[in-house]
Structure 1
Amino acid sequence: MSGGGRSTVARALENVGYYVVDNLPQALMIDMAELAFAAGGSARRTAMVLDVRSRAFSTDLAGAIKALRERGFQPQVVFVDADTDVLIRRFESVRRPHPMQGEGRLSDGIAAERELLREAREQADVFIDTSHLNVNQLRARVEEMFAAEDTRRLRVTVLSFGFKYGLPPDADFVVDARFLPNPYWVPELRDRSGREQEVSRYVLSQRGAVTFVETLARLLNATAPGFEREGKRYVTIAVGCTGGKHRSVAIAEELARRLREGRMAASAQHRDLGRE
């Protein structure tokens, strides 16, 4: 139903790895399904979003779903709805008319849409009533139903960088590793990077380095459940030093390793490595 939360459901499906096709005419469902099947891999997790806007092409949604099944596909139909008074409040809050309202009242458009979609609603595999759900609750419910376990996990990127090249604009956390002695001033380490064992050993052996990494790991472990509840799937923690070659790289690699040991999905990336 228009106003039921269809867009939120579509975004939630994208979050868990579905390829989402919005406002697809029913007549193209079989073509889209065959394209997804032929593409293989992740494309087979395709979600087709259909709504009253497609009525210009066909009003037989139930028939289109039946045709899919007859061709050997196994579609799962999710119908998103809400109480009429809730739908009215939602349309009024955004000050837009119902797509089937015409010259009538808002309630007339909602009633017409209910009748048009009655058979599809009755045949739905999953029915979601969003009357008493907020956006985050709806998203969480959809992800719980359709996500593979690993797609619901928070993914952490530990990004090393050099302060002299500027702050990373996409960082959620920025921390400064310049309190540690700089390997640049050690002649045998100057031309090496923090990814090499000799530099990493030097950096991590300095006073406060391990405590620094452990503190960051605790911070991320403490905040990860909250980020996941709020629908955030990616977090970037940026670790900076002067040039982004030694200290920040070694710290980023070690932090990512520890997060992975704690069963978090974490990877290290190095923005400025090689710029000097």
Structure 2
Amino acid sequence: MDQFHLIIVTGMSGAGKSHAVQVFEDIGYFCIDNIPPVLIPKFAELCIKGGERVRHVALIADIRGGEFFDSMSQCLKELKELNISYEIVFIEASDQALVRRYKETRRVHPLAPHSRISQGIEEERKRLDALRRKADFIIDTTNLTPKQLKELLIKKYSITDSKKMMNITVVSFGFKHGMPIDADIVEDVRFLPNPFYVEEYRHKSGRVPAVRDYVESFPVTEKFKEKWFDMIDFLLPNYEREGKSQLVIAVGCTGGMHRSVCMAEAMYKHLKETGVDVSIEHRDIYRNEVEEDAPGYEGM
């Protein structure tokens, strides 16, 4: 059984704690934001008793908890008495950076709801000073971008040595039904020859081999696939380098039944062969009159 790993994320308001916990969540930690410190020892015990289900936990506890946050010292004492190891990650930034971030987001400081932001920051530093001195890892985000903070946390706290692979979803759709709202890349293939106008293919999906062969029999399709695959192969490592964890490639035709389905399947096969973590969805096939689909696809 893996050793239980508890990380308590705390620090200055506006310094980037919420983003940090999002990173921990992306790399496989069970995360809770704004947990009252008094609950941390009991929660840690429950996780340990749960066995393999929850072995890596990251919790945010900060002054948003109000009077509950004052129990942090007692919480840490209880964790030691229970022989539960933990790490404190303290995230901070300069006063100037914090003031700028608060002004950009137009938020009020939790310790200065009716006064100047700088006064809230000063009071918060005083209240957190003792906890900061107990921190195992202090991160100053004054000059860090979100990407740099993510890279720093992944390097130090990644559960496995291997880099988490970006998850890719290829989605076919019909423009007349609207574009997928979560699409990162949208490819319009309505310029390709349309099987809809061939009577024997009209009610067969793009997963039917005969329809696929028809679409791919044209030189324009082969040229398009060559350029499209090359572009995606170029983009993927650059997206990963940027820290992107999910990517949705949407492929659209008029109804989402023939050309988009065929090309989505081609992209899925291409990425699968290159070892990419990829899945495929055909959003709009059955919004059309489908009389024949590929074997194993009888409808939804």
TM bin (shorter chain): 0.7 to 0.9
Looking at structure 1, the residues matched to 117 and 179 of structure 2 have their Cα atoms a distance apart, in angstroms, of: 49
Looking at structure 1, the residues matched to 117 and 187 of structure 2 have their Cα atoms a distance apart, in angstroms, of: 52
Q: Which residue does the alignment assign to 2:295?
A: none
Verify: 1:172 aligned to 2:184, yes or no.
yes
TM-score by length of 2: 0.75
Deviations 1:17-76 (A, max 9, x none): 434311111001123334445666665443210111224124242442343354354433
Q: Which residue does the alignment assign to 2:67?
A: 56
Verify: 1:83 aligned to 2:100, yes or no.
no
Verify: 1:271 aligned to 2:280, yes or no.
no
Aligned residues: 276
Looking at structure 1, the residues matched to 281 and 231 of structure 2 have their Cα atoms a distance apart, in angstroms, of: 19
C-alpha spacing 1:104/1:158, structure 2 compared with 1 (3 Å):
closer
Looking at structure 2, the residues matched to 159 and 104 of structure 1 have their Cα atoms a distance apart, in angstroms, of: 50
Deviations 1:181-206 (A, max 9, x none): 33445566555433344433443333
Is 2:63–2:69's contact at 8 Å kept on the other side of the alignment?
Answer: no
> Structure 1 stretch 26-35 or stretch 180-189: which is displaced more?
180-189
Q: Which residue does the alignment assign to 2:173?
A: 161
User: Alignment partner of 2:70: what SS?
Assistant: coil
Looking at structure 2, the residues matched to 242 and 70 of structure 1 have their Cα atoms a distance apart, in angstroms, of: 65
Deviations 1:86-115 (A, max 9, x none): 434444555655434588875554444334
Q: Which residue does the alignment assign to 2:220?
A: 208
Q: Which runs of 5+ in 2 are unaligned?
A: 1-11, 290-300
User: Alignment partner of 1:127: what SS?
Assistant: strand
Verify: 1:16 aligned to 2:27, yes or no.
yes
Looking at structure 2, the residues matched to 256 and 180 of structure 1 have their Cα atoms a distance apart, in angstroms, of: 18
Q: Percent identity?
A: 40
User: Alignment partner of 1:140: what SS?
Assistant: helix
- The residue correspondences of 1:94-173 to structure 2 (distance < 5 A) are 94=105, 98-101=109-112, 109-147=120-158, 152-173=164-185
> Structure 1 stretch 33-42 or stretch 252-261: which is displaced more?
33-42
Looking at structure 2, the residues matched to 150 and 273 of structure 1 have their Cα atoms a distance apart, in angstroms, of: 37
C-alpha spacing 1:85/1:273, structure 2 compared with 1 (3 Å):
closer
Query: Which of the numbers 234, 239, 257 marks the counterpart of 1:227?
Result: 239
Is 1:62–1:123's contact at 8 Å kept on the other side of the alignment?
Answer: no
Looking at structure 1, the residues matched to 254 and 98 of structure 2 have their Cα atoms a distance apart, in angstroms, of: 55
C-alpha spacing 1:41/1:87, structure 2 compared with 1 (3 Å):
same
C-alpha spacing 1:89/1:237, structure 2 compared with 1 (3 Å):
closer
Looking at structure 1, the residues matched to 38 and 20 of structure 2 have their Cα atoms a distance apart, in angstroms, of: 22
What amino acid is aligned across from residue 278 of structure 2 in structure 1? A
> Structure 1 stretch 185-194 or stretch 215-224: which is displaced more?
185-194
Q: Which residue does the alignment assign to 2:268?
A: 256
User: Alignment partner of 1:28: what SS?
Assistant: helix
Looking at structure 2, the residues matched to 186 and 102 of structure 1 have their Cα atoms a distance apart, in angstroms, of: 67
Looking at structure 1, the residues matched to 284 and 239 of structure 2 have their Cα atoms a distance apart, in angstroms, of: 28
What amino acid is aligned across from residue 218 of structure 1 in structure 2? D
Q: Which residue does the alignment assign to 2:78?
A: 67
- The residue correspondences of 1:189-208 to structure 2 (distance < 5 A) are 189-208=201-220
> Structure 1 stretch 46-55 or stretch 135-144: which is displaced more?
135-144
Is 1:157–1:266's contact at 8 Å kept on the other side of the alignment?
Answer: yes
Is 2:38–2:71's contact at 8 Å kept on the other side of the alignment?
Answer: no
RMSD (Å) for aligned C-alpha atoms: 3.3
